[in-house]
Structure 1
Amino acid sequence: MSNPIADPGHGHSPAAWTAVIIMLVGIAIGTGAFFLNVPWLVWSCVVLIAIGLIVGFILSKVGYGVNGPKYTPKEH
């Protein structure tokens, strides 16, 4: 145990959490809309999922990603 494995920090950032939350909301609403046969809402949720991906990418580039200057990792 002389060299503990360091956490690579994958996904533990405001950019990642924001993107995942937006996409999960889109998937949850889209699944319900698919079940209820509401095609326009299903396609709106597909767009929402794409928006979540774009928002996560933008936040990462602005500095809220794992190695960004505006992100400070929390101690466990």
Structure 2
Amino acid sequence: MAENTTAATNRNSPESHAQMGDETIGHGNSPAAWTCVLVMILGAAVSSFAYIFASTEGNRDTGTVLFWIGILIMFVGLLVGFVMRKAGYGVGGSKLKNNGH
């Protein structure tokens, strides 16, 4: 039984993935990922507020515009994260000091 556990552990280690040519995905702990997520949360908050605001009488047009602005902010968050990753601020990026943590 212990041999099967060891084999499974070795097969799923980052070293074995590197040998197989696979890329280790990780958790996205980088300035690019955090910025992307925070901007997208802001966009979701704007859209959520706008959805409720649009449901009140007389605010339908303003709420609809705000809703789409929130959606646009979420797409901007994706773009910002992508640009930051390409600039070296993603996981394993050239601008980050890799201290093993």
Which TM-score bucket, shorter chain as reference? Answer: 0.7 to 0.9
TM superposition shift of 1:63: 0.1
C-alpha distance in structure 2 between counterparts of 1:27 and 1:10, whole Å: 22
Amino acid at match of 1:33: A
Match of residue 67 from structure 1? 92
Aligned to 2:45: 28
- Deviating beyond 6 angstroms after TM superposition, the runs of 4 or more aligned structure 1 residues are none
Which structure is higher in RCO with an 8 Å CA cutoff and minimum separation 6? 1
Unaligned residue ranges in structure 1 (runs of 5+): none
Give yes or no for contact 2:30–2:89 (8 Å, CA) kept in 1. yes
| Richer in helix (by share) | 2
Q: When the two structures are superposed, what TM-score results if normalisation uses the length of structure 1? A: 0.83
Structure 2 portions without partners, runs of 5+: 1-9, 15-24, 55-62
Identity among equivalent pairs (%): 42
> Does residue 1:45 correspond to 2:66, yes or no?
no
Alignment RMSD: 2.0
Q: Indicate which of 34, 37, 48 corresponds to 1:17.
A: 34
